[in-house]
Chains A and B, each alone.
Chain A
Amino acid sequence: MNIHEYQAKEILRSYGIPIPRGRAAFTEAQVERAAREMGGRCVVKAQIYAGGRGKAGGVRLTGCADEALQAAKDLFGRTLVTPQTGPDGLVVRRLLVEEAVEIAREFYLSITLDRQSSRYCMIASAEGGMEIEALAEKSPEKIHIVTIDPLVGLRPYQARKTALALGMTGKLCEECVTLMMNLYRCCLEKDCSLVEINPLVVTGSDWLMAMDAKINFDDNALFRHPEYQEMTDFSQIDPLEITAGEFDLSYIKLKGNIGCMVNGAGLAMATLDMLSEYGGAPANFLDVGGGAAKDRVAAAFKIILGDPDVKGVFVNIFGGIMRCDVIAEGIIAAASEVGCTLPIVVRMDGTLVEEGKRLLQESALNVLFTHDLAEGVENIVRMVQG
């Protein structure tokens, strides 16, 4: 789960990590007022669920409150396209107004899961502000990694070694040790899959400060943090993905015109691959999950049909725990409710498949039933193109 920079910074501050003085703003008036409070010289930063904002023009340094207001007028409602947003970009609805800070040095610092060792690791570099992936490719020797034993936790000596490697000394080094320890505590207590400070800066007056921050929460741990629910900015998420979330369905909008409903993530990915291979273009990824009930299948089908690009639907279900008659009932219910006339190809296999087939064929839907995966894919691609 994503949150905005200003929310991430609030969390860091609650762990004693220094951040610039700032305010989140939802209106132009709020931006102007915040800028006045900062004394005019400030940074206005677009809050979107993606990085690379600076290069896309989403970060403005302003010299007075009027300039901040101009920046706000320009940024609110603007669509930012960055390497992380995809070609459609994301619309700016919130801004962060921060005091401008004099920067002496910049660093990179993050904690995330290392899949290789199945442990959290702390990643640090004296090359702040750069994208860490790019740095890892260009000069991996400039990245310092500490793999953290969960039974022992991050130890101060490990943090100190890292801070020294970054070139910090004396009081500054010890401050950085404290900051790193707090960052690890934050990562665990808040169930983060990533906490990233980039850049972590040393200010002109020799203070450590988190100039930019990014936090991702572990989706599996949301049940431990009911408060996260309210932090989501729905303007940053595709509306169909929001509805899917309500039904606990895994849905991702894609560019094509063949709607897809599949059970199981692996089979869903393989189905999309196969549609492309046969010259079709999938409109979405949708995993209805293992034990989906009739209303969940119906909800899934409605989400697929809610995408105006969809010109046909391919259902690929390998029964297993899911009963094919239940899937069929769900499809029929949803398609009848929205008056769907689009071609539907259903490929089902598994428990009670004959019953599912009978229900579909007896319905008034424009549906073709098949047992064979390749045959199903071929048919839907042809029907959508024809």
Chain B
Amino acid sequence: MSVLVNKDSKVVVQGITGRAGLFHTRQCREYGTKIVAGVTPGKGGTIIDGIPVFDTVEQAVRETGADVSMIFVPPPGAADAVLEAAAAGVGLAVCITEGIPVRDMVLVKRTLRESSTVMIGPNCPGIITPGECKVGIMPGDIHLKGKIGVVSRSGTLTYEAVKQLTVTGLGQSTCIGIGGDSIIGVNFLDALRLFNEDPETEGVFLIGEIGGGAEEEAAAWIRDNMKKPVAAFIAGRTAPPGKRMGHAGAIISGGKGKAEDKIRTLRECGVAVAPSPAKMGETMVQVMK
């Protein structure tokens, strides 16, 4: 077991012929992911690296049985790509693309409410079940099959946490990068629910940052429902108010979204918060004792 992706997942890559799309398709395949198809409108019928390319996701699903989509389509067409994946009945759409307009994502999010497709991202590193399946841009070799579910709004900070979990020997069951945008698919709550029910996950590490109230919401849910220990780290304690810190969603406005509030709420709800990004693995080890 694991959550959302495993060794049987069949992946179609939307935007496979782009530079990033092709590079990461190769990386994922090397890791062991079953990449069964690619989609690039206008290039249907061609083959790239032995992978058949289709004009539409619908064709790709029909011909190959793909059930997961990894999306590298550039911002102007990215929202359409997610909607297309959903219309084709793909169970999981992982959107890596950074910089999709909010107006587009408002529509996507609304449309997905009436669909069974689960979206991860956008603007995220993707999802990995170590040793089985990598759908995203994270470096595979820092992961170790293990028992900690990781959920994060950040990219490279997640790699940092993953590496520390690997060094401490805890390893990871599945790591989900939920993305740094204001509008995202799978959120902390969804991920926590999945990890709570997953027999292979014995504890969860949550990585949050300034902006919004998702961490506070997660904290309350953990207090009321979580059966497994949770540790966390929140980035941005020293961030100046009103400035967008790289991620579109990472902004403190009107006194809301501050790191110290998130940290306090998490601690009040029984979550161990790592005091420093160098101590993420150590903190997890302590709560697992």
Residues of A within 8 A of B (CB): 84, 86, 113, 115-116, 118-120, 132-133, 136, 149-151, 188, 191, 193, 218-221, 223-224, 250, 252, 254, 262-274, 276-277, 282, 285, 287, 290-291, 318-321, 349-351, 372-374, 377
Known contacts A219-B248, A276-B238, A350-B139; A267 and B102 CB within 8 A of each other: no
Check B76–A223 contact: CB distance below 8 A. yes
Sample (13) of A-B pairs whose CB atoms are under 8 Å apart: A120-B106, A252-B243, A252-B245, A263-B156, A266-B154, A266-B207, A269-B157, A273-B276, A285-B239, A290-B98, A319-B139, A349-B163, A351-B139
Check A291–B20 contact: CB distance below 8 A. yes
Known contacts A115-B212, A273-B235, A320-B137; A265 and B246 CB within 8 A of each other: yes
Check B155–A320 contact: CB distance below 8 A. yes
List CB contacts (< 8 Å) of B137-177 with chain A: 137-139, 152-160, 163
Q: Which residues does chain A contribute within 8 Å of B110, judged by CB atoms? A: 118-119, 149-151
The complex places the Cα of A351 from the Cα of B140 at a distance, in Å, of: 11
Check B154–A264 contact: CB distance below 8 A. yes
Residues of B within 8 A of A (CB): 20, 24, 75-76, 98-103, 105-107, 109-111, 125, 137-139, 152-160, 163, 180, 182-183, 207, 209-210, 212-213, 233, 235-240, 242-250, 253-255, 259, 275-278
Q: Which residues does chain B contribute within 8 Å of A377, judged by CB atoms? A: 278
Instruction: Give the shortest distance, in Å, between B155 (CB) and chain A (any CB).
Output: 5
The complex places the Cα of A236 from the Cα of B265 at a distance, in Å, of: 37
The complex places the Cα of A220 from the Cα of B179 at a distance, in Å, of: 15
Q: Which residues does chain A contribute within 8 Å of B76, judged by CB atoms? A: 223-224
Check B233–A320 contact: CB distance below 8 A. no
Contact with B239, one of A220, A224, A269, A320 (Cβ below 8 angstroms): A269
Check A118–B105 contact: CB distance below 8 A. yes
The complex places the Cα of A101 from the Cα of B110 at a distance, in Å, of: 42
Check A115–B155 contact: CB distance below 8 A. no
Q: Give B243's nearest chain A residue, CB to CB.
A: A252
Instruction: Give the shortest distance, in Å, between B275 (CB) and chain A (any CB).
Output: 8
Q: Which residues does chain A contribute within 8 Å of B160, judged by CB atoms? A: 267, 270, 318, 373
Check B245–A285 contact: CB distance below 8 A. yes
Q: Which residues does chain B contribute within 8 Å of A120, judged by CB atoms? A: 106
Given A223-B76, A276-B237, A277-B276, 15 other A-B contacts at CB below 8 A? Answer: A118-B109, A191-B103, A219-B248, A250-B246, A254-B240, A266-B209, A267-B156, A269-B236, A271-B277, A274-B278, A282-B238, A287-B246, A290-B137, A318-B156, A320-B138
Contact with B155, one of A221, A264, A276, A372 (Cβ below 8 angstroms): A264
Q: Give B278's nearest chain A residue, CB to CB.
A: A374
Q: Which residues does chain B contribute within 8 Å of A262, judged by CB atoms? A: 156
The complex places the Cα of A299 from the Cα of B37 at a distance, in Å, of: 38
Check B235–A266 contact: CB distance below 8 A. yes
Q: Give B106's nearest chain A residue, CB to CB.
A: A150
Check A266–B247 contact: CB distance below 8 A. yes
How would you classify the secondary structure of chain B's contact residues: helix, strand, loop or mixed? loop
Q: Which residues does chain B contribute within 8 Å of A270, judged by CB atoms? A: 157, 160, 233, 235-236, 277
Pairs of residues from A and B, 3 with the lowest C-beta to C-beta distance, nearest first: A266-B154, A265-B246, A264-B156
Q: Which residues does chain A contribute within 8 Å of B243, judged by CB atoms? A: 252, 285
Check B278–A373 contact: CB distance below 8 A. yes
Check A290–B155 contact: CB distance below 8 A. yes
The complex places the Cα of A269 from the Cα of B212 at a distance, in Å, of: 16
Q: Which residues does chain B contribute within 8 Å of A276, judged by CB atoms? A: 237-238
Check B247–A265 contact: CB distance below 8 A. yes
Q: Which residues does chain A contribute within 8 Å of B138, judged by CB atoms? A: 320
Q: Which residues does chain B contribute within 8 Å of A151, judged by CB atoms? A: 107, 110-111
Check B233–A224 contact: CB distance below 8 A. no
Instruction: Give the shortest distance, in Å, between A346 (CB) and chain B (any CB).
Output: 15
Check A220–B101 contact: CB distance below 8 A. yes
Check A193–B102 contact: CB distance below 8 A. yes
Check B233–A252 contact: CB distance below 8 A. no
Q: Which residues does chain A contribute within 8 Å of B237, judged by CB atoms? A: 273, 276
Q: Which residues does chain A contribute within 8 Å of B159, judged by CB atoms? A: 318, 320, 350
The complex places the Cα of A311 from the Cα of B245 at a distance, in Å, of: 23
Contact with B154, one of A220, A267, A372 (Cβ below 8 angstroms): A267
Check A266–B109 contact: CB distance below 8 A. no
Q: Give B152's nearest chain A residue, CB to CB.
A: A266
Instruction: Give the shortest distance, in Å, between B279 (CB) and chain A (any CB).
Output: 8
Q: Give B277's nearest chain A residue, CB to CB.
A: A270
Known contacts A218-B102, A373-B277; A116 and B235 CB within 8 A of each other: no
The complex places the Cα of A224 from the Cα of B160 at a distance, in Å, of: 35
The complex places the Cα of A377 from the Cα of B156 at a distance, in Å, of: 17
The complex places the Cα of A282 from the Cα of B253 at a distance, in Å, of: 22
Check B278–A84 contact: CB distance below 8 A. no
Q: Which residues does chain B contribute within 8 Å of A119, judged by CB atoms? A: 106, 109-110
Q: Which residues does chain B contribute within 8 Å of A351, judged by CB atoms? A: 139
Q: Which residues does chain A contribute within 8 Å of B209, judged by CB atoms? A: 265-266, 269
Known contacts A270-B160, A320-B137; A374 and B276 CB within 8 A of each other: yes
Check A273–B254 contact: CB distance below 8 A. no
Known contacts A270-B160, A320-B155; A113 and B106 CB within 8 A of each other: yes
Contact with A133, one of B139, B163, B245, B255 (Cβ below 8 angstroms): B255
Contact with A220, one of B99, B157, B259 (Cβ below 8 angstroms): B99
Instruction: Give the shortest distance, in Å, between B22 (CB) and chain A (any CB).
Output: 13
Check A220–B246 contact: CB distance below 8 A. no
Check B276–A218 contact: CB distance below 8 A. no
The complex places the Cα of A372 from the Cα of B281 at a distance, in Å, of: 14
Instruction: Give the shortest distance, in Å, between B260 (CB) and chain A (any CB).
Output: 11
Check B246–A218 contact: CB distance below 8 A. no
The complex places the Cα of A250 from the Cα of B237 at a distance, in Å, of: 18
Check B276–A274 contact: CB distance below 8 A. yes
Q: Which residues does chain A contribute within 8 Å of B152, judged by CB atoms? A: 266
The complex places the Cα of A321 from the Cα of B160 at a distance, in Å, of: 14
Q: Which residues does chain A contribute within 8 Å of B233, judged by CB atoms? A: 270
Check B99–A118 contact: CB distance below 8 A. no
Check A272–B155 contact: CB distance below 8 A. no
